[in-house]
Amino acid sequence: MSHRRAVSILAALAGAGLLVATLWAARPAQVLELARRTSVEGLVLGFAWATAVLLLRGLRLGLLSGSRLGVTRATAVIASSQLPVIVLPMRLGELAFFPALRAAGIRGGMRGLGFLILTRALDIAALLLWALAVGLWMGVPGLATAAGLAAGAAVAIYTALRVTRAARRLLFRARHGSAWRRRLIVQGLRVRRELIWITRSPWRAAVVVACSLAAWAGVWQLTLALVHGMGLTWSPAAILLGVIGAAMGASIPLNAVGSFGTQEAGWAAALATLGVAPSAALAAGFASHSWSVVFAALHWIVAAPFLWLRHRRQHLPKRRP
């Protein structure tokens, strides 16, 4: 067994252990009770916000694609890939983005990887800004918060630059290689050209950034609608802090079933700083997370057949008159 595979298996086992531990602490009966008593109004409002977040991310992907994807197709790509991300272990769901993008008419693994990395970087940057905002809003010392977030942003930007440079060196080393390597170079250069095109248009760059920020605001409102629909009266600021903690927890690569377990751990840890009991926070986290999976499944049911039919029509042989 290779070292990498052994590490992956250990990480999956650790994620499964964390999931079992957090679910046990949340008490499954309490989770089911909160999910069951969520009001219809909360569910409708939550689904509306989930759809708004989906549309915002679809608009962003459409702009990042250099207008090669319309909002409808880009939204379908996001909707088709977000469910696997939520339910599959060890980030394997990320792989669903590539066939969805291909079905929408964008070919090239390097190009898809570029879009995926860029959207994740934008999400991280937007989350850092929201963390700074909530820190100042809730009275956290502004200087310490700003310094910590600036350090995190610097590390993220440095890592992204190093990855970009390494990818560029790899591409140009392979420029005299086989045909598939040359295609990778062409795709990589196209991604670079598209990114330059985005940055040269101030309004497009502004819309991309605004969509990233607004998407996190939508996730906040989605969670707020579900939590209040369960009858819990936590403040909007507390729920925003919990959302930020959940997002940071979900980034930990210990996922047995999507981000279940790690996301709830981050959520509960953030709310614990405000005095919320861990068991209550974990139960609300699991219940709202489960409803989010339902919303993602509903979006997938619509988007996946749409992309499949479009892909099939594109590859049907044309009939001769």
Q: Which of 220, 202, 219 is nearest to 63 (CA)?
A: 202
For the whole model, what pTM was predicted? 0.81
Q: Where does the chain show beta strands of DSSP type E? A: none
Reported as a single tens digit per residue, the pLDDT across 39-64 is 999 999 999 999 999 999 999 998 88
Reported as a single tens digit per residue, the pLDDT across 151-201 is 555 555 555 555 445 445 554 555 455 565 555 555 555 555 656 666 667
How high is the pLDDT of residue 2?
A: 61
Binned at pLDDT 50, 70 and 90, residue 241 comes out as confident
Q: Is the pLDDT of residue 18 over 70?
A: yes
Share of the chain above pLDDT 90, in %: 34
Q: Which helix (H) or strand (E) holds 166?
A: helix 142-173
In angstroms, how far is the first alpha carbon of the chain from the final one?
Answer: 58
Reported as a single tens digit per residue, the pLDDT across 60-96 is 998 888 767 888 999 999 999 999 888 887 777 788 8
Backbone φ and ψ for 233, nearest 5 degrees, come out as -110, 35
Average pLDDT in the chain:
80
The pair of three-digit structure tokens given for residue 170, joined into one six-digit string: 């790899």
By CB atoms closer than 10 A (0-12, 13-18, 19+), residue 220 is buried
Reported as a single tens digit per residue, the pLDDT across 254-304 is 777 778 888 999 899 889 888 899 999 999 999 999 999 999 999 999 999
The pair of three-digit structure tokens given for residue 182, joined into one six-digit string: 């040359």
Contacts of 131 (CB under 8 A, 6+ apart): 145, 149, 244
How high is the pLDDT of residue 321?
A: 47
Amino acid at 107: R
Say which DSSP state 70 is in.
Answer: -
Backbone φ and ψ for 136, nearest 5 degrees, come out as -70, -35
Q: Which helix (H) or strand (E) holds 290?
A: helix 278-315
